[in-house]
Amino acid sequence: MPAAPALTPRPAAEPHDLGAPIIAFVDQVLADAVRTGASDVHVEVLHDCLRVQYTIDGLRREITTAPLHLGDRVVRRLKVISGVDLVPRAGAPDGRLHLTDNGVVTEARVRFTPGTHGGTADVTFLQTGAPVPV
């Protein structure tokens, strides 16, 4: 059975300090969320770990946790692919993602909120578009 193609966020530019494992982790979280029908992805840096939750059918479900040292890097990767400036500013910045999977485009709004331990990122999937002509 062939593996499902990877979900490709656009734009794909990333700073040099983000390694391939962080990129793969974020891409996998977003791909799994779209494939499971989640309406939202919640990424939260807690005092002892990074927690990822999906909202599916109105219920928030914990999907995974990761070591605390990955938290800021995961949130930073989400900022990069959603077009948000990495320099902290007053207020909570919003960004947008366009994800493509098997020719279907899904748009998402990403909201970043500063927090005690590193902040949160909330990804809300807005719509699924028609297949993109190749």
Helix (H) or strand (E) holding 60: strand 59-67
Of residues 18 and 118, more confidently modeled: 118
> How far is the C-alpha of 62 from the C-alpha of 134, rounded, in Å?
36
When mean pLDDT is compared across 6-20, 105-119, 120-134, the lowest value belongs to 6-20
Structural domain boundaries in the chain = 8-131
**So what's the architecture of 8-131 in CATH?**
2-Layer Sandwich (3.30)
| Stated length of the chain | 134
> How far is the C-alpha of 132 from the C-alpha of 128, rounded, in Å?
11
Which tens digits make up the pLDDT trace of 19-47? 789 999 999 999 999 999 999 999 999 99
Average pLDDT over residues 56-62: 95
> How far is the C-alpha of 65 from the C-alpha of 89, rounded, in Å?
27
Q: What is the DSSP string of 13-24?
A: ---TTS-HHHHH
Average pLDDT over residues 67-89: 88
